[in-house]
Amino acid sequence: MKFDHPAKANPIDRMKVVGQPHDRIDGPMKTTGTAHYAYEWHNEVPDVAYGYVVAAAIAKGKINSLDLKAARNAPGVLAIVTADNAGPLGKGDKNPALLLGGPDIAHYHQAIAVVVAETFEQARAAAELIQVDYRRESGNYDLAAQKPSVTTAPKSEPDKSLGDFASAFSASDVQLDATYTTPDQSHMAMEPHATMAAWEGDKLTVWTSNQMIDWCRGDLAKTLKLAPENIRVFSPYIGGGFGGKLFLRSDTLLAALGAREAKRPVKITLQRPLIANNTTHRPATIQHIRIGTDKTGRISAISHESWSGNLANGPPETAVQQTELLYAGSNRQTGLRLAKLDLPEGNAMRAPGEAPGLMALEIAIDEIAEKVGLDPVEFRILNDTQVDPANPERHFSRRQLIECLRTGVERFGWSHRNAKPAQVRDGRWLIGMGVGAGFRNNLVMKSAARVHLDAEGIVTVETDMTDIGTGSYTIIAQTVAEMMGVPLEQVVVRLGDSDFPVSAGSGGQWGANSSTAGVYAACVKLREAVAQKLGFDAGTALFSDGKIHAGEHSALIKEAAAGGRLTVEDAIEFGDLEKKFQQSTFAAHFVEVAVDMATGETHVQRMLAVCAAGRILNPKTARSQVIGAMTMGVGAALMEELTVDTRLGYFVNHDLAGYEVPVHADIPEQEVIFLDDTDPISSPMKAKGVGELGLCGVSAAIANAVYNATGVRVRDYPVKLDKLLKGLPELNYVVGKKAP
């Protein structure tokens, strides 16, 4: 099905099943332990051995020698694979560095060997016996030291400009010129990267944890120099990914290599300390923002430049993309700069680009609003745009940012905010409110599905779409139930198998909208097949209560499969509507914080997200996505930071003992409001994505609330107490200084 015209009225609009807050259909399996995650497949293949990954102890250099003798002779050891005996390997398109290093080392904790043994404990013990002699080389590990002398504009992300920014900024009545930094961050998904691999001749099957089945299979095929059809990938349940499992990683490759060498199925999970350095992370940024306005607060000039670093051939953090579209202004420029760093690979983490970009932009917007003398909400409303600023002929398909902000103002009690910082106290706590706009582009991808109808009236859908905890099983089932007019109980959803039609996969906020649209397309074809079998006109017939209806005439849809199961397959392919319309999602985040006036300890007390993200397919699972994203925003604002050892080139706090993330005690009351926002430009579902939007703007809202509470403006994330202490009003009073 080609989607190249705005959606008209269709069966999804009935909203009998779609749009309702149904419980997750996979919930009982997850709560009873019968939903198998990657390391939990126990009965699929016999005689499984265990692998343990050995990782490089240097960040850059070469391996002079690997002494494997003691490890090979250790109890239970079946095989050891290194670059020397792995055979010729390629490199996947989406992997900047080799997943199995040696003799050259590209980054700290790059995998250099896997030990396979009868038990996990034996593999781990033997791995400790491997002696590695390295020749360490110097490398570049400090982003700040690389800016700007050795940074370049990525070819894939050229600078963009409109009008004459320099002249307009110079002539502005009010100016802001500030620099903001965001740190390296780790995904820290609950489920570690894990894989079980088994060979049958030259055919490989892997049970893994991966968000994009087809990407995984394609890059694994290139790395192993196999035909993709000789590889089968299973990933039906994923315990969190956040972008860290978008691509082929070393656990999958090493499980396959270990199984081939040991001639046994092999199971591997990456040790938690390896995940931060061996897989991917969100790169740190240095962002320079300049905004100029007239006396009334209208933006006349806006510039946003961002620096990030990565391995050679790695992508930049696209932290300026929201600035191209979020606010009006006739003179503007954006640019990315990429430094070559010898740190582990930087890549996508939930809302890549917008999440760190809005952490800076939405503080800058508050700062310029204060300079102008406007309420920060009113400043944002004043500078709203209904068109792409760089192409005024291109309107937004739907843009409800103003309604998000107005709704949030009323619901959150924004009128009670004291605009003057450090004025509201509750005992020893300084109280403040903050706001941040949320923005994330609406991305769509081709997505296919196969649908079966059997003689019992059961409709089964198959697609390689994944569920990373987002509720894919449930919204896909809801789509089938709505389209075919059957109850949810008569829908079976099968996901995460590369033998199924290729879906959009889970990532980029495109998964829910695209995958359900692909299922919609397949169901349209199944409706046609049922109608033809039973003598109805598919264009006018209604499907409900397990029947097909036309006037007084009706029949059970299962009768169409009486002679054998009906099977159809189709895909949604998106045309060029994105060229005619700018498609984006919007939010307004409101936060209240309390800051201890003596210690700088910060507690988030209330959070509100108002989202405009197209039709909400399931309000219950969508709310779960947003509050989870809001929680990540708390972490990014107040605690999350991978600490770089700039001498040795690695992330020091590479486990959950040292890398702080929010826990239940850190998270307050969270409220989520979804505006009515069906968007026929987006897809036949008239939906968009929401899982990443919920993170965009949250951290800045918290930082802005901390400023409102204390009068201390922190532009260097995370906003930890040591950055607040010397500026707190009470401490200034104690040491005899005038409070701000």
Count the residues in the chain.
740
CA atoms of 652 and 645, how far apart (whole Å):
6
Stretch (H or E) spanning 230: none
Structure tokens at 330: 């006739």
- Please pick, among 305, 482, 640, 692, the residue that the annotation labels catalytic: 692
Question: Is residue 692 among the annotated active site residues?
Answer: yes
3-class secondary-structure state, position 469:
coil
The β-bridge partners of 609 are: 589, 672
Instruction: For tokens 């020091």, name the residue.
Output: 652
Structure tokens at 416: 């009670």
CA atoms of 52 and 407, how far apart (whole Å):
53
3-state helix, strand, coil in the chain (%, to 5): 30, 30, 45
Degrees (nearest 5) of the Cα angle 405, 410, 412?
Answer: 90
Closest Cα to residue 611, out of 719, 692, 496, 530?
A: 692
Stretch (H or E) spanning 571: strand 566-574
Query: Which DSSP string do the residues of 46-93 spell out, in sequence order?
Result: SS-EEEEEEE-SSSSEEEEEEE-HHHHTSTTEEEEEETTTS-S----T
- Phi then psi dihedrals of residue 364, to 5 deg: -60, -40
Long-range contacts of 545-553 (CB under 8 A, 24+ apart): 545/485, 546/457, 546/485, 546/486, 546/487, 546/490, 547/485, 548/485
* Beta strand residue intervals within 356-490, DSSP E: 387-388, 391-395, 425-426, 429-441, 447-453, 459-462
Closest Cα to residue 148, out of 323, 335, 353, 345?
A: 335
Query: Which DSSP string do the residues of 624-667 spell out, in sequence order?
Result: HHHHHHHHHHHHHHHT--PPEETTTTEES--STTTS----GGG-
Structure tokens at 31: 């709560």
Q: What is the CB-side half-sphere exposure of residue 497 using CA atoms within 13 A?
A: 10
**Would strands 491-494 and 459-462 be described as parallel, antiparallel, or unpaired?**
parallel
Structure tokens at 41: 């497949």
What amino acid positions are annotated as catalytic residues?
692
